[in-house]
Amino acid sequence: MSPQEQFSLLPSVDELARAAGEGFPHSLVVSECRAVLEDLRAQLRAGAKVLLDPEGLVRRRLALLAAPSLRKAINATGVILHTNLGRAPLPEWAPTGGYSNLEYDLLTGKRGKRDSHTEALLQRLLGASAILVNNGAAAVFLALHELAAGGEAIISRGELIEIGDGFRIPEICARTGASLVEVGTTNRTRIDDYRRAITERTRLLLRVHPSNFRIEGFTGRPSLQELCALGKEFGLPVYEDLGSGCLIDLRQYGVQEPTIAESLAAGVDIVSFSGDKLLGGPQAGIIAGRADLIQRLRRNPMFRALRLDKLVIGAMETTVRHLLLEQWDQVPVLRMLRQSPEEIKVRAEALAAQLPGASVIPGESLLGGGSTPEQAIPTFLLALHENIVAIELRLRRNTPPVVARIEERRLLLDLRTVDPADDLALLAALQNALAGSSL
């Protein structure tokens, strides 16, 4: 049948709406019908041969609108803080339905502060005052806007980093009204470089931890203690952006990241970090340090523009409480990091025994999410060797979707990043994908 003949068979909008729109609002159905018919007409005018199924197309479009777009996925990539999969997987928690005491002090009956629900917990964890904003970049913005606007902040050239998706520290700083004064070189900066750059316009000494890259070889920069001593000498606050937010020492698990407590103990006046990386919670920016500086940040008008909503506060309160009570396995990121390769190997072998052609091989997990680049953690991988492109596609389109990785002509799945409660669902997805690939 020619495109012209197909064109004449297209139904009217009303006919199509009556056939395909049951159970949906009429205005929405009409809108989708028009969109489908316009698209089909455009293809036919271009001389394309199309499979005429306008009713099926409308039903599929309506079904997609009715189904949640944001849904659970099984991360089998071995990247713990997978940016595209939401970085840190959240601990189990239930949103408070209905009304809540978000900004209401139940003891006094007066208005409260929404971050009071995390304030006491963070105070005990860090030994310092802390406030929360909506992400790490917002924390940097607020700190510089309050402490350095109209003046200068001194930073090493080796710390002028890009934090992801094209966002660069100098560009964020420029929006705050503060001027960055670069000192030293890309690979080496000395304490005297900071000293010589201090003028009457200096408001802040800024330190940015390079958590998403490494410079190796002939390198150097002052210790935090040296920088803090210089700040005290000139009466200047020292601010460190630590990025990844390591609240507990993870070195025994192969993660070489400084902790927040170490920075505060070195004398840093304020430190900021992300909530959805090594802390293991929802997206947030946390700023902790001297009580007087934190109070200044709280009073800054931008604090209200950058504040968290009640859902994030609830998830953060749950996460921080687990950390305070040392309930490590209740925080998925920490549970994943604490798994030994042998534990993962046992799980992988149990799956491989039920999958034709599967094998278990040694490999490496990665932290990802802009944290600790090139630091790998030993693991064992479930490997598939045949029809891997077709299987990967079927896994990705599974319910729930399973995301794996392809390397060296093998489909690899790392159970470090798979909740053990999802092992059976993963097995079912793999069996279905293998069966489909053989059809």
Torsion over CA of 177, 150, 179 and 198, rounded to 10 degrees?
-160
pLDDT of amino acid 215? 65
Residue 333 has pLDDT above 90, yes or no: yes
Higher pLDDT: 333 or 161? It is 333
Element (H, E) at 310: helix 310-324
pLDDT at 439: 42
Q: Does pTM top 0.85 for this prediction?
A: yes
CB atoms within 10 A of CB 14: 10
31, containing H or E segment: helix 26-45
Cβ 403 vs Cβ 85: under 8 Å: yes
Q: What is the pLDDT of residue 205?
A: 97
Express each pLDDT in 215-267 by its tens digit. 666 678 889 999 999 999 999 999 999 888 888 888 888 888 889 999 999 99
DSSP 367: E
CATH tag for 104-327 (out of 3.40.640.10, 3.30.1490.20, 3.40.1190.20, 3.90.1170.50): 3.40.640.10
What pLDDT was estimated at residue 164? 61
CATH class (in words) of the domain with range 74-86+333-437: alpha beta
Task: State the average pLDDT over residues 278-296.
Answer: 96
Residue 438 scores a pLDDT above 60: no
